[in-house]
């Protein structure tokens, strides 16, 4: 997958909130396991801080946002940063479709929370596939600013392997 056709994933930063943890776990699963070649993780905090590289990434690529609550901070910040949201997910909506997955925990999710994160990741991965097919079919190009090499520290997730070499 070429860097110019990646989909950015922007999860909630609801630290200390169960649904925020579900959103981040889902995002990690997408970028690390399900679609590592097709996705790029962007830390919401980097958009809030006005980080140039993170803002350029959301401005140049379709975004999938994962919000943990009604405030929809991830979606709002992508839009305020000049990005286009291809699909927004709300953890509560996914929970309503998967009521058997009752999440509990904050620092560490229970089995229900992990199952909910997995269900959400699967839904988001399906959207990534559709976006990739559309990009391939239309030979979509993006701004040249995003084609430069960026490192993980610029995005605020240096421990996530799939953030490097955008």
- Whether 50 is covered by a domain: the verdict is yes
Q: Which domain holds residue 145?
A: 3-150
The pLDDT value recorded for residue 78 is 97
Among 80, 22, 83, 25, which residue's Cα sits nearest to residue 48?
80
Per-residue pLDDT at 4 exceeds 90: no
The pLDDT value recorded for residue 130 is 94
Q: pTM for this one?
A: 0.84
The pLDDT value recorded for residue 110 is 98
Per-residue pLDDT at 155 exceeds 60: no
The pLDDT value recorded for residue 145 is 52
Per-residue pLDDT at 115 exceeds 80: yes
Query: What is the number of domains present in the chain?
Result: 1
Query: Which residue is it, tokens 């975004």?
Result: 63
The pLDDT value recorded for residue 156 is 46
- Whether 159 is covered by a domain: the verdict is no
- Whether 59 is covered by a domain: the verdict is yes
For residues 97 and 108, what is the distance between their CA atoms, to the nearest angstrom? 22
- Whether 163 is covered by a domain: the verdict is no
The pLDDT value recorded for residue 134 is 86
- Whether 127 is covered by a domain: the verdict is yes
For residues 116 and 90, what is the distance between their CA atoms, to the nearest angstrom? 12
Asked if 36 and 145 touch (Cβ cutoff 8 Å), the reply is no
Per-residue pLDDT at 150 exceeds 80: no
- Whether 156 is covered by a domain: the verdict is no
């Amino acid at each position: 997958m070429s860097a110019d056709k990646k989909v950015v994933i922007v999860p909630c930063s609801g630290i200390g909130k169960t649904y925020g943890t579900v959103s981040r776990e889902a995002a990690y699963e997408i970028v690390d396991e399900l679609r590592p070649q097709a996705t790029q993780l962007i830390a919401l905090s980097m958009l809030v801080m006005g980080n140039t590289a993170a803002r350029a990434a959301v401005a140049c690529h379709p975004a999938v946002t994962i919000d943990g609550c009604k405030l929809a901070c991830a979606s709002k910040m992508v839009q305020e940063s000049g990005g286009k949201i291809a699909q927004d997910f709300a953890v509560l909506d996914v929970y309503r479709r998967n009521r058997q997955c009752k999440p509990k925990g904050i620092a560490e999710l229970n089995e229900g929370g992990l199952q909910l994160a997995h269900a959400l990741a699967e839904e988001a991965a399906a959207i990534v596939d559709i976006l990739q097919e559309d990009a391939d079919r239309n030979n979509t190009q993006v701004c040249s600013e995003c084609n430069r090499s960026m490192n993980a520290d610029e995005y605020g997730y240096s421990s996530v392997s799939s953030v490097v070499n955008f």
